[in-house]
Structures are given as structure tokens and as C-alpha cells.
Amino acid sequence: MTTGEIAELLNGKITGNANLEINSIGKIENAKPDQITFISNPLYEKYYGSTNAGAVLVSKDFKINNIRKEVTLIRVSDPYLSFLELIEKFDNENEEIETGISAQTSIADNVRLGDDIFIDDFVKIGKNSIIGENSKIYSNVTIDKNVLIGKNCIIYPNTVIFKNSNIGDNVIIHSGAVIGGDGFGQAKGEDGKYIKIPQKGSVKIDDDVEIGSNTNIDRATIGETIISRGVKIDNQVQIAHNVEIGEDTVIAAQTGIAGSTKIGKNCMIGGKVGIVGHIKICDNVIIGAATNISKSIDTPGIYTGYRGKPHRDDLKIEANLKKFLESN
């Protein structure tokens, strides 16, 4: 696209050459003259003077001391969001449309497949399952019986989806994820030996969810483990049986959430967070990385520390501890 076309697409205001042809996207440090990049973080403003990019997305109030005539600026409301939109645009234009069903796929009886789907080699789909239109299932995916997968989903290689799982539209599941595996339920008998508790429930994943590689979402003991609309889950996250996660919550890598915990909407959970079972976390909570949550949270805010507490309280404890150690 030309820079003029990009500016029109993003509702931006252009300064420079509107006819410059842009072929791809690059990092500001090493972009080429036929590439576009962006500046949204002030830490990267220093690269404006040295970048070789042909065009740069900047904010409407971006200030420069020395105008570079060889660099076209496109001023937009939010350079980062505009950059994401542009990535999607370039990706869609260059992406090969994949449709069709491999002859090396195993499809059981009474499976319903939507229009324009793609099923790669060595996929196994169990009986009575449904795959929605425009969905893509890549190689070595195993889909058990009675699974519902909605429209426009992408299931990457080596994913396993167990029986009775219900997956909405526009869901992305990355490689190695396990959806609907056995929940960890054990009861100690009178003789001290553990007795396995049957896990007879299912997993329900709503629309617009993304699940990272090697993440596990266990099916419920009874009822459903629920991942609500718009939830984004990073790699290597463990979500136990009967957990419920509210809309638009994001969870970073290596977090573990124990059984029957309920997490609200619009929460942000950092990496390596541990959350015990059978508690509730309200809406709009931010939990810092490596924080352990051992009791319910009913007030929105930021929580940090080895034993999760309001961030301000955690900082006070750290400061007082430092003073104590220094005085001794």
C-alpha cells in the first residue's frame, strides 16, 4: 500500500510523501525504506533520528526537533492500536487461504463440518462433533466426541480437546494445549490411600478467547469450567476444574488457578501467579507477577507480594523491612 492509503485506512494525518509504496512492517531500529514502523513508547522516540523506515506511525501530539524529509509521518490517535490494525491488514493480504480436508484425517460418524473449513493431516475428530464454518484445524489435533467448535476458530498442531467441550466463535488455541482434560480430584480414604474422584463435567469457552501453548483447562467435576468472552490466556497456564473466568480478563504465563475459584471481569493476572481454590476475585483486579492469592478479593485494585495484598501495603512492608535490616 502507499502511505496515503495507509493514512486513509487508519484515519491518520500524513506529513511527507503520500505516494511512497510500503511493502511490509519493520522494527524501528532496523526497518528499511519500503517498510513502516511506529512509535508509541517514549523510550523509542530516540530512534526517530536514525531509523531507515520509509514511514512511521506516531501520535497526534508527537513532537520532533528535526524534520526528516525522507521519513513520512502518519499521525493517529493511538499508534500502537493502529500498528496492530496494519499488521492484520498486511497479514490478511499475504495469507494463503487454506480450505479443504486432508485425506489423512480420521472423521467419525455423525460429524458435522461447516463450509470453507480446513482440516490438516492426521487430525482425529470423534463422533457427534461439530466444526463451524471457516475454522482451521491443523495437523495432529485430537478432537474427542461431542465437541462443539464454532466459526472462524484456529486450532494449532498437537492440541487435544476432550469430550463434551464447547468452544465458541473466533477462538484461537495454540499448539499443545489440552482442553477438557481430567480435573485433579482425589479423596483420602480411611486406609490413607487416595481415591480418584470422577470428573464428569465439561469445559465451556466463549467467543473471542485465545489460549496459549501448553495451557491446560480441566473439565469440571460436575457442571462446567467456564472461560468467558474475550479472555486471553498465555502459555503454560493451569486452570483447574470448575474455575470460572470473567470477560476480558488476561492471564500471563505459568499462572496456576486451583479448583472452583471464580475470577471476575477485566482482571489482569501476571506471570507465575498462584491462586488457591474455592475463592472469588472481583472485577478489575490486577495481580502482580509471582504473587500468591490465598483468600478472596472483593475490592478492585493492584495486589502484589508473596502473600497477595494491596500494592500500597506491600510497598510499606518492603520499606519497613528494609529499614529494619539496615538498622541491624
Domains of the chain, first to last: 3-94 (3.40.1390.10), 159-313 (2.160.10.10)
**What is the rounded average pLDDT of the residues 209-228?**
98
Question: 175: pLDDT confidence band, cut at 50, 70 and 90?
Answer: very high
User: In percent, how much of the chain has pLDDT > 70?
Assistant: 98
**What is the rounded average pLDDT of the residues 159-175?**
98
Residue 321 sits at φ, ψ, to 5 deg, of -65, -40
| Res 326: pLDDT | 85
H/E stretch holding 35: strand 35-38
- The C-alpha atoms of residue 100 and residue 115 are separated, in whole angstroms, by 9
| Res 94: pLDDT | 57
Question: 13: pLDDT confidence band, cut at 50, 70 and 90?
Answer: very high
Beta pairing class for 280-281 and 301-304: unpaired
With beta carbons less than 8 A apart as the criterion, state whether 209 and 188 touch: no
> Where is average pLDDT lowest: 31-45, 55-69, 120-134, 157-171?
55-69
Question: pLDDT tens for residues 232-288?
Answer: 999 999 999 999 999 999 999 999 999 999 999 999 999 999 999 999 999 999 999
Question: pLDDT tens for residues 93-136?
Answer: 656 678 899 999 999 999 999 999 999 999 999 999 999 999 99
Give 291: exposed, middle or buried? Use CB within 10 Å, 0-12, 13-18, 19+.
buried
Q: 241 an active-site residue?
A: yes
| Res 312: pLDDT | 86
| Res 315: pLDDT | 86
> Where is average pLDDT lowest: 162-166, 181-185, 224-228, 248-252?
181-185
With beta carbons less than 8 A apart as the criterion, state whether 203 and 222 touch: no
37: its cell numbers: 514502523
**What is the rounded average pLDDT of the residues 4-10?**
95
Q: Of residues 174, 241, 278, 311, which has the active-site annotation? A: 241
**What is the rounded average pLDDT of the residues 307-327?**
86
Q: How many CA atoms lie within 13 A of 224 on its CB side?
A: 13
- The C-alpha atoms of residue 58 and residue 83 are separated, in whole angstroms, by 10
| Res 317: pLDDT | 84
Question: 223-226, long-range: CB within 8 Å, 24+ apart, which pairs?
Answer: 225/183, 225/201
**What is the rounded average pLDDT of the residues 26-43?**
94
Q: Is the pLDDT of residue 297 over 80?
A: yes
pTM for this predicted structure: 0.87
145: its cell numbers: 466426541
Question: pLDDT tens for residues 48-78?
Answer: 999 999 999 999 999 888 889 999 999 999 9
CB neighbours (10 Å) of residue 123? 24
- Which residues, in sequence order, are bridge partners of residue 309? 304
